[in-house]
Amino acid sequence: MAIEAAKWTNALVELGFSITTVAGEGSVDHRLPGLAIGAESPPTAAELGSALDDADLVVVENLCSLPLNPAAADLVATTLAGRPAVLHHHDLPWQRPQFARHGPPPDDPHWSHITINELSRAQLADRGITATTVYNTFDTRRSVGNDAAARTAVRRTLGLTDQDRLVVQPTRALPRKNVAAGMAAATDLGATYWLVGAAEDGYGPELERLVEAAVGPVVLGWPDGIPVGIGAAYAAADVIALPSTWEGFGNPSVESAVHRRPLLIGPYPVATELAAFGFRWFGLDDLASLNTWLRAPDDGLLDHNWSVADTHFSDRHLPSRLASVLPAI
C-alpha cells in the first residue's frame, strides 16, 4: 500500500500538485501518532485540522476503508466533510472475515472513491457508493529479468546452483496467503521454496509447523548477504508463487510479468479479473504444464505477459488516469 501511495504522490506532482504527507508513523511531513493502526486514541481535531486545513485536496489511503482505527477514521471523515477528497480503497470491511459486520466507508458528495479492482467498485455500488477503479501500477521499464549478475549473486548466497529450481512467494505469511499450497507446489516442482515476508496476525506457530513438516528446502525472510528489496528475489527466482485465496490486487501478479518470470497463481477472485487482460499464468492445479515450461522455457510467454503489463498497468499512465477521476477543486 505504501508503494502505491508513493506512486500516487509522484503522479499528483506531475499533475501540478504540491504534496504534504500526513500519517501516524514513518517519514512524513506531519506525523500524528493517533492516525496509526492500533493507536490508543485519535489525534485531536485541532491537530488534524492544523495538518489538513491548507490542503486543496486530501487523499485518504485506506484509513476510512478498513476499521483498523475507527476513531481516527471518523475524525478524518468529519474533518473532510464538504471538502474535495479522494478515498483510496485497497480493502473493504466485508472482504475480511473479522470485519464482516462493519458497514461501508463514509461518503460525501465532494469526495471521489477509488478502488483497486472492479470487484470492490461493484460492491460499493451495491451499497450506494459510486467509485472508480484505478488499478495498481508498475514501472515496466525496470526489469530484473535479464540481470544475470544479480541472479547469480543471490542464488549463490542461498546455496543454489544454476540447475536448482527456486520458487519465490513474495508475500507475508497469513492464512489467506495460502503458504501451505506454495510450499507444496515447490516440493512438487523439485524446488527450494523462499517466502520473503514475515508471519503476521498470529500466524507464526502455523508457519513453524509448516516448515517443520516441509519435505523440500525452505528459506524464510531475507538471509544475510542478500540486499533487501523485492528485485533481488525476482532476479533469483525461477517461478513466482501467489497461491493466495484472497488479495485486493496481488502485486506479484503483475510484478512477475514486469520481471519476466512465470507465475503460479491461486484462485482468488481478483485474479480472474486481472487474467482477463490477457496474462498467461499457471494455476495451482496445472503444475504439470509449469514443469514442462521450466524444462524448456518459452520467452514468448514472458514477452506476452510483459506486453500486457506495459499496456494496462504501467505507471506512466497513472497521471492521466488520476486526472480523470479527481474531484473538482
Average pLDDT, the chain: 96
Residues 126 and 160 grouped into a single domain: no
Residues 109 and 178 grouped into a single domain: no
Helices 70-80 and 45-52, axial angle in degrees (round to 10): 50
Examine residue 241 and state whether it is found in any structural domain, yes or no: yes
Q: Containing H/E element for 191?
A: strand 191-195
Residues 205 and 111 grouped into a single domain: no
Examine residue 256 and state whether it is found in any structural domain, yes or no: yes
Residues 227 and 195 grouped into a single domain: yes
User: How far is residue 16's CA from residue 109's CA, in Å, rounded to a whole number?
Assistant: 24
Q: How many domains does the chain have?
A: 2
Give backbone dihedrals phi and psi of 242, rounded to 5 degrees, phi first: -135, 75
Confidence band for 227, pLDDT divided at 50, 70 and 90: confident
Examine residue 328 and state whether it is found in any structural domain, yes or no: no
Residues 217 and 79 grouped into a single domain: no
Residues 114 and 187 grouped into a single domain: no
Residue 163's domain comprises 148-312
C-alpha distances in Å from residue 323, one per residue of 21, 67, 87, 180: 19, 28, 15, 42
Examine residue 36 and state whether it is found in any structural domain, yes or no: yes
What average pLDDT does this structure show over 281-291?
Answer: 97
Examine residue 142 and state whether it is found in any structural domain, yes or no: no
Confidence band for 3, pLDDT divided at 50, 70 and 90: confident
pLDDT > 80? residue 106:
yes
User: How far is residue 252's CA from residue 249's CA, in Å, rounded to a whole number?
Assistant: 9
Residues 54 and 155 grouped into a single domain: no
Residues 58 and 133 grouped into a single domain: yes
Residues 297 and 164 grouped into a single domain: yes
Examine residue 212 and state whether it is found in any structural domain, yes or no: yes
Examine residue 143 and state whether it is found in any structural domain, yes or no: no
Residues 120-165: tens digit of each pLDDT: 999 999 999 999 999 999 999 999 999 999 999 999 999 999 999 9
pLDDT > 70? residue 1:
no
The pTM is what? 0.94
Residues 8 and 108 grouped into a single domain: yes
Rounded percentage of the chain residues whose pLDDT exceeds 70: 100
Confidence band for 258, pLDDT divided at 50, 70 and 90: very high
Residues 91 and 196 grouped into a single domain: no
pLDDT > 90? residue 206:
yes
Residues 179 and 272 grouped into a single domain: yes
Examine residue 130 and state whether it is found in any structural domain, yes or no: yes
CATH of the domain at 152: 3.40.50.2000
